[in-house]
């Protein structure tokens, strides 16, 4: 068992309140007086403990622990570009700059769970797809107490492989829980590894199930809908026509156009 999993297991067994809380004296319930009657309500420590637990359960990798909305910087230049109606960005390809992508993330958070349509962020390396997506699930957990989970695409493939039962030659889908049931799944780097036909079938099953159950999926991918040169593949080449088209129904698609944030000098803030 991985260390973090063990920590999670131990957390699950601990009570859902702070035993040293001065407000509820470690009961999880706060006494209040309303209209002359004494009542109890959930103490704030209950919500704090719940959020802490949800955050741990979300499995956000440590290298993305700094990814919050606040830390996602947008320059004056990016805002000016919106004012110029996104010159150079092709709306038919859902192209947006990072300012619009951040607005989209903020809108999504505000509207969830009334609107449950997910988001597909496509784009080149380092434009901030994972940062924004992690920021979204972090906000949903912290502000709305929504159970969310981060999954790297390659890790999901490993789970799909683990679900394979050689005897029946099909997947044992209970292995794939909670990928099938979590309220919000963040699937990072879709298409980053090659998939076999049966893996693709299982992946399609997972995403279809989530769609049918009205669960939200946020996806990032390096692969685009159009090739930049002849040798390159598209997202559809990587995951098949059927799944690519399903993603358009499940998610609002944005292709983020911007410099690679990781490269030195890639961005100058005004």
| Chain residues that interact with Zn ion, rule: CB under 5 A | 21, 23-24, 43, 45
171 binds Mg ion (CB under 5 A): no
Written as six digits, the tokens of 265 are 């000098």
129 binds ligand ATP (CB under 6 A): yes
The residue among 63 and 241 lying less far from Mg ion, judged by its C-beta, is 63
Q: In the chain, helix, strand, coil percent, each to 5?
A: 40, 15, 40
191 binds ligand ATP (CB under 6 A): no
Dist. CA 32–CA 41, nearest whole Å: 7
222 binds ligand ATP (CB under 6 A): yes
User: CB of 258: closest distance to ligand ATP in angstroms?
Assistant: 8
171 binds ligand ATP (CB under 6 A): no
* Window of 63-71, 106-114, 123-131, 258-266 that interacts with Mg ion by CB under 5 A: 123-131
40 binds, among Zn ion, Mg ion, ligand ATP, none (CB under 5 to 8 A by kind): none
E strand intervals along the chain: 29-34, 37-42, 95-96, 118-123, 148-152, 164-165, 170-171, 184-188, 216-221, 251-256
Chain centre distance of CA 120: 10
Dist. CA 82–CA 104, nearest whole Å: 13
Dist. CA 13–CA 231, nearest whole Å: 52
Q: Which of 24, 58, 98, 135 binds ligand ATP (CB under 6 A)?
A: 98
Q: Which of 95, 130, 216, 221 binds Mg ion (CB under 5 A)?
A: 130
Among 224, 248, 255, 228, which residue's Cα sits nearest to residue 237?
Answer: 224
* Window of 25-33, 49-57, 111-119, 122-130 that interacts with ligand ATP by CB under 6 A: 122-130
262 binds, among ligand ATP, Zn ion, Mg ion, none (CB under 5 to 8 A by kind): ligand ATP
The residue among 44 and 68 lying less far from ligand ATP, judged by its C-beta, is 68
67 binds ligand ATP (CB under 6 A): yes
Which sign, positive or negative, has the C-alpha torsion 53, 128, 98, 219?
negative
* 88-114 CB burial, b ≥16 within 10 A, e <16: ebeeeebbbbbbbbbebbeebbeebee
User: CB of 119: closest distance to Mg ion in angstroms?
Assistant: 14
The residue among 179 and 219 lying less far from Mg ion, judged by its C-beta, is 219
Query: How big is the site for Mg ion, counted in residues (CB under 5 A)?
Result: 1
Q: Distances from the Cα of 213 to the Cαs of 147, 170, 192, 239, in angstroms?
A: 15, 22, 26, 22
Question: Footprint of ligand ATP on this chain (CB under 6 A)?
Answer: 67, 71-73, 98, 123, 125-131, 220, 222, 261-262
């Amino acid at each position: 068992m991985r260390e973090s999993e063990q920590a999670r297991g131990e957390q699950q067994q601990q009570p859902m309140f702070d035993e040293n809380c001065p407000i509820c004296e470690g009961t999880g319930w706060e006494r209040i007086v309303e209209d002359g009657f004494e009542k109890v309500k959930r103490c704030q420590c209950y919500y704090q403990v719940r959020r802490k637990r949800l955050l741990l359960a979300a499995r956000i990798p440590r290298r993305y622990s700094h990814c919050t909305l606040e830390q996602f910087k947008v320059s004056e230049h990016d805002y000016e570009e919106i004012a110029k109606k996104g010159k150079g960005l092709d709306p038919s390809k859902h192209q947006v700059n990072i300012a619009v992508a951040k607005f989209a993330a903020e809108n999504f958070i505000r509207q969830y769970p009334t609107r449950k349509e997910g988001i597909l962020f496509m784009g080149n390396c380092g434009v901030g797809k994972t940062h924004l997506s992690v920021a979204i699930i972090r906000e949903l957990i912290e502000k709305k107490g929504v159970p969310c989970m981060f999954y790297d695409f390659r890790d999901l493939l490993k789970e799909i492989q683990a679900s394979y039962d050689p005897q029946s030659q099909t997947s044992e889908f209970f292995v794939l829980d909670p990928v099938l049931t979590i309220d919000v799944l963040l699937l990072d780097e879709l298409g980053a590894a090659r998939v076999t036909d049966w893996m693709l079938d299982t992946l399609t099953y997972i995403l279809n199930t989530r769609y049918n159950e009205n669960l939200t999926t946020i996806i990032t991918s390096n692969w685009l809908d159009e090739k930049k040169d002849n040798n390159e593949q598209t997202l559809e080449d990587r995951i098949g026509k059927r799944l690519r088209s399903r993603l358009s129904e499940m998610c609002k698609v944005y292709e983020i156009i911007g410099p690679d944030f990781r490269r030195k000098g890639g961005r100058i803030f005004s």
